[in-house]
Amino acid sequence: MRFLRICFFSLFAVLSSSAYALTDAQMFEVMRFMAEKPKPDVTVNGIGIYVYDGINSLDALGPYRVFMTAGLKPFLIAKNRGTITTNDNLKIQVDKSIADVTKLDILVIPGGAAETVAQTKDPVTLAWIQQIDANSLYTTSVCTGSWILGAAGLLQGKNATSNWYRAKQILAKYGATFQPKRWVQDGKYWTSAGVSAGIDMALAIVVNLYSHDYAQAVMLDLEYDPQPPIRGGSLAKTALVPRRNMTWMYDFYLLDSFVRSK
C-alpha cells in the first residue's frame, strides 16, 4: 500500500490528463481507500521490531514488509545501534537502540536459535521489553521470539504459539498454553509459529487494524498467495523421517542450552 500510494500520487497529474483518466467517482473511491487509518492508531509511538545477532531474518523482515506495505512505517531496534548479523549472514544496519525507545504501539520480537536463548537470560533486554509492554497496544513475537516474551514474564496464563520445536514443553516453562496454530491472539499478545508464520500474523494484525478489503489490497501488493510445491511446513503435515531428523538436529543444538537449563 505504501508503494501504491507513492505511485498513485506521483502519477496523479499524468493519469488525470491521459486516456486512462479516472472518473470523479473512481478518484474519490481511490482517495478514500488510500486515506483509511488504523484503529487503534498504531502510528503514535510506532511499530518497533527488536533485532539481535542470530535472528531468523524472515522473522523480522516478513512482518516489516507487511507493515510497511500497509503504510505503518515500522522500524528496527537493537540493544545498541550498529550492525546486527542474522543467522543467514545478512547484515542489517540498525539506527535505534533500546535507550532511544521508551514507548511503542506494537513491539515485535523475532526468534532464532542459541542467540535467542541468550536473550532469554539478558536482564537488560528483558527489563526493556517489560517497560515497552507496559504501554504497548500489542506485544508480539515470531517463532522462538515467544521464548523471550515468556522469559520476560508476559505469557503467564496466556494461550500462545511458537516454533514447533518442543513448543508445548518450552511454553509451559513460562506458564503459557501452547496452541498449534500459525498465529494466536490472547488479549494484546500476538504470537506466531516459525519464521514464515510471522507474515500471517502481521496480516492478521492489519485485518484487525483496518479491514478485510484493506488487508487484501496489502496481500495483492505483495502477491501473497502461498502455493508450496509439496505438503509440509508443520508437524502435522511432515512425514516421520524428516520430522524425526529435524527434532534430533534441534536437540543437538538447543537441548542442553535451553530445555534442560535451570
Q: What is the mean pLDDT of the chain?
A: 91
**pTM score, whole prediction:** 0.91
3-state secondary structure of 249: helix
Asked if residue 238 belongs to a domain, the reply is no
Residue 143's pLDDT is 98
CATH code of residue 137: 3.40.50.880
- Structural domain harbouring 145: 47-222
Asked if residue 83 belongs to a domain, the reply is yes
Active site residue 143: yes
Asked if residue 17 belongs to a domain, the reply is no
Query: How many distinct structural domains can be found in the chain?
Result: 1
Q: Which of 42, 61, 77, 143 is catalytic?
A: 143
User: For 137-180, what is each residue's pLDDT tens digit?
Assistant: 999 999 999 999 999 999 999 999 999 999 999 999 999 999 99
Asked if residue 242 belongs to a domain, the reply is no
Asked if residue 195 belongs to a domain, the reply is yes
The DSSP symbol for 22 reads P
User: For 208-217, what is each residue's pLDDT tens digit?
Assistant: 999 999 999 9
User: For 65-120, what is each residue's pLDDT tens digit?
Assistant: 999 999 999 999 999 999 999 999 999 999 999 999 999 999 999 999 999 999 99
Q: In terms of Cα–Cα distance, which of 55, 1, 52 is closest to 30?
A: 1
Three cell numbers written together for 187: 488479549
C-alpha neighbours within 13 Å on the C-beta side of residue 194? 10
Asked if residue 230 belongs to a domain, the reply is no
Asked if residue 159 belongs to a domain, the reply is yes
